[in-house]
Structure 1
Amino acid sequence: MFQKRGFLVKESIGSAIIPVVRKNGADGEVKVKWRTIDKSALNGRDFEGGEGVLVFKHTEIEQNIMIPIIDDMTPEKDEHFEIELFDPEGGAKIGQINRTAVTITNDDDFNNVLSNMMQMTNANIHAMQVHHETYLGQIKDALNVNGGDIENATGMDYVLHFLTFGWKVIFALIPPPSICGGWLCFFVSLGAIGLLTAIVGDLAAIFGCLVHLDDAVTAITFVALGTSLPDTFASRAAATQEKYADNAVGNVTGSNSVNVFLGLGLPWLIASVYHLVNGTTFRVQAGSLGFSVGLFTGLSILTIGLLIARRTLAIFGKAELGGPTIPKYASGIFMIILWLIYVLVSSFQAYGHI
């Protein structure tokens, strides 16, 4: 049996030592199994538990269970787990106290003003995590409007939930970040995004065939829009939430860098190795690529000039994003016009009019 029904340990203790005693005799060797039971403290997050076996040698009356405590340096309220004794061997029996509770408290040496505030509001930092520890949590959020927070859900939340329900359920099947340190989630997510991109590309190509659009025109319109609209919303969120424009503009340049360097480099590497092994020549005709890149470069210079002007001129409020109302909308319209020029001129060239 355990010495007492409860133990109090600090989060920074390292390992909790829980004594198990043998009473009413010490002759012979006996064994007893033990296991941890998750409560508000979870195995792998707050402590390293599991199962084990205690062996009491002849004349031995006390053994210790050592449970490593994980110190995440995060202020949070007290949490607890339980340890249970079961399945004794060697003629022994389980005593009256067969289960004990281990309460993990914040170490006063690491507390600060924030932790005291959180304790006063009875908040648990793990309840505010963006990701989930289990598949069940992800699927529940995907099935519910606004992740289950119905009280704060707006009408638009219900509309978006209806429109994206299928995608939410599909991507809820991706492994949670808690598995394998997040690496499994990372690689499976990359694979899912690649598969989705392939589907979007094929659907756009089929649509282009149906309406008799040239492949080059389909690529710079429907395919480009389908892959870039998520970047648009991400840049908008970064622009409204950040003090500087770095994240908003950097998100776009970073995304395009991945598209050009990795999105082209990796397929070309695979194709080159394939043709090398088979003794064939890997050759892709440039087509209108030179014209499109030259046109894009010229329009990009105009865009960069606009950003420089917005940064330096008082009329723009010396802000690359936002600023006074009229210059702000004028800058947006100017960039949209540049995009339309690129699409129209590239389309005319693809159809032989230029």
Structure 2
Amino acid sequence: MDNVPKFSSEEEEAKRIAEMGKPVLGEHSKLEVIIEESYEFKNTVDKLIKKTNLALVVGTNSWRQQFMEAITVSAGDEDEEDSGEERLPSCFDYVMHFLTVFWKVLFACVPPTDYLNGWACFFISIIIIGMLTAVIGDLASHFGCTIGLKDSVTAVVFVALGTSVPDTFASKVAAVQDTYADASIGNVTGSNAVNVFLGIGVAWSIAAIYWHMQGKQFVVEAGSLAFSVTLYTIFAFLGFSVLLYRRRAHIGGELGGPRGHRLATSAFFFSLWFLYILFSSMEAYCHIEGFWNTSGTLLEHFWNSSERLLEHSRASFQAPSRRFKVEL
């Protein structure tokens, strides 16, 4: 009994208060929790997943479901809609579905990524892209022939514009989502490299092999290629100069920056594109003389001048031989 510690009145009071603060069981020892789904929160999460492209991961596993979604009119996706109720399609949704149902069904032909670990989706997508590219090229050629445009003008205006619009939107998305401008600018240079090296290289290789097997040669006339490539190189040099200038501290980088610099850069690049189309079209219709014709004319003048100078030199060298006789 002597070993029991003795507490003062203050310590006894503190101990009593501490004992009162301990958790104890109340009247109700059981609790039932019911979790209800919030449609508003679900819609918000779905929109965030779609924006971050995670919808591809949790996409449809059924090929049949893709076709069902392609032929079904669905309401447009609006970020301003916060209600959890399902919105019915509007008149605009029906009009857009009627205009795009062909493309929806065509893209539904691409199998889901679950088939063959995504390889089926990859190869069939490449095949469909190649077929659409061939169709677009033929349609542009027929359109240019119908309205009286040359193939070179049709190529630099309609074909190039049609094939570059997806790259433009991809660069815009990359510029908005990425911290740096590498993805957006690299997408432009990479797509051009694929078009030039892979697109032209594969097509010309197949044509050259085919005509070689036929015992003939595959010949492609230069046409206005020298003028277009030289003009494009000059404008590309100007474009890269502007991008390098925009690296200054008061601008901030290749993309973005103050409003005045953004508008000036956009207007300058649009003017380069417009001037490229204008000069290429004028050269194709012989309103201005191309580099090939100019160089050919200069070579012709140089060759004629060289021949006249050579004839004059021969005449002046042979003339003294008629006047004097050399006796040994």
TM-score (norm 1): 0.60
Q: Which residue is 2:204 aligned to? A: 268
Q: Give every structure 1 segment of 4 or more consecutive aligned residues whose post-TM-superposition deviation is greater than 4 Å.
A: 125-128, 144-157, 159-162
Q: How far apart are residue 176 of structure 1 and its match?
A: 1.7
Q: Of 53, 61, 66, which aligns to 1:133?
A: 61
Give unpaired runs (5+ residues) of structure 2.
1-44, 79-85, 289-328
Report the secondary structure of 2:231's partner residue.
helix
Q: Count residues with an aligned counterpart.
A: 229
Q: Which residue is 1:349 aligned to? A: 283
Q: 2: distance between equivalents of 1:338 and 1:154?
A: 42
Q: Larger radius of gyration, structure 1 or 2?
A: 2
1:284 and 2:220 aligned: yes
Q: How far apart are residue 146 of structure 1 and its match?
A: 6.3
Report the secondary structure of 1:311's partner residue.
coil
Structure with greater proportional strand content? 1
Q: 2: distance between equivalents of 1:127 and 1:226?
A: 27
8 Å Cα contact 2:75/2:88 also seen in 1:
no
**Cα 1:139–1:290, aligned 2, differ >3 Å: closer, same or farther?**
same
1:322 and 2:256 aligned: yes
RMSD between aligned residues: 2.7
Q: How far apart are residue 175 of structure 1 and its match?
A: 1.8
Q: How far apart are residue 148 of structure 1 and its match?
A: 8.6
Q: Which residue is 1:305 aligned to? A: 241
Q: Which residue is 2:162 aligned to? A: 226
Q: How far apart are residue 134 of structure 1 and its match?
A: 1.9
Q: Which residue is 2:124 aligned to? A: 188
1:237 and 2:173 aligned: yes
Q: 2: distance between equivalents of 1:292 and 1:127?
A: 42
Report the secondary structure of 2:218's partner residue.
coil
**Cα 1:313–1:153, aligned 2, differ >3 Å: closer, same or farther?**
farther
Q: How far apart are residue 143 of structure 1 and its match?
A: 3.2
**Cα 1:187–1:156, aligned 2, differ >3 Å: closer, same or farther?**
farther
1:143 and 2:71 aligned: yes
User: Counterparts in 2 of 1:1-354, with a 5 A limit?
Assistant: 129=57, 131-144=59-72, 151=86, 158=93, 160-314=96-250, 317-354=251-288
Q: How far apart are residue 290 of structure 1 and its match?
A: 0.7
**Cα 1:152–1:216, aligned 2, differ >3 Å: closer, same or farther?**
farther
Q: 2: distance between equivalents of 1:243 and 1:156?
A: 39
Q: How far apart are residue 164 of structure 1 and its match?
A: 2.3
Q: How far apart are residue 137 of structure 1 and its match?
A: 2.8
User: Aligned AA for 2:132?
Assistant: L
8 Å Cα contact 2:113/2:120 also seen in 1:
yes
Report the secondary structure of 1:244's partner residue.
coil
Q: Deviations over 1:57-97 (max 9, x none)?
A: xxxxxxxxxxxxxxxxxxxxxxxxxxxxxxxxxxxxxxxxx
Q: 1: distance between equivalents of 2:282 and 2:109?
A: 44
8 Å Cα contact 1:141/1:148 also seen in 2:
no
8 Å Cα contact 1:145/1:153 also seen in 2:
no
**Cα 1:329–1:161, aligned 2, differ >3 Å: closer, same or farther?**
farther
User: Aligned AA for 2:173?
Assistant: A
By relative contact order (CA 8 Å, sep 6+), the higher-ranking structure is 1
Q: Deviations over 1:182-234 (max 9, x none)?
A: 11211111111111111111111111111111110000001111111111111
**Cα 1:201–1:175, aligned 2, differ >3 Å: closer, same or farther?**
same
**Cα 1:136–1:228, aligned 2, differ >3 Å: closer, same or farther?**
same
Q: 2: distance between equivalents of 1:163 and 1:181?
A: 33
**Cα 1:154–1:148, aligned 2, differ >3 Å: closer, same or farther?**
closer
Q: Deviations over 1:18-66 (max 9, x none)?
A: xxxxxxxxxxxxxxxxxxxxxxxxxxxxxxxxxxxxxxxxxxxxxxxxx
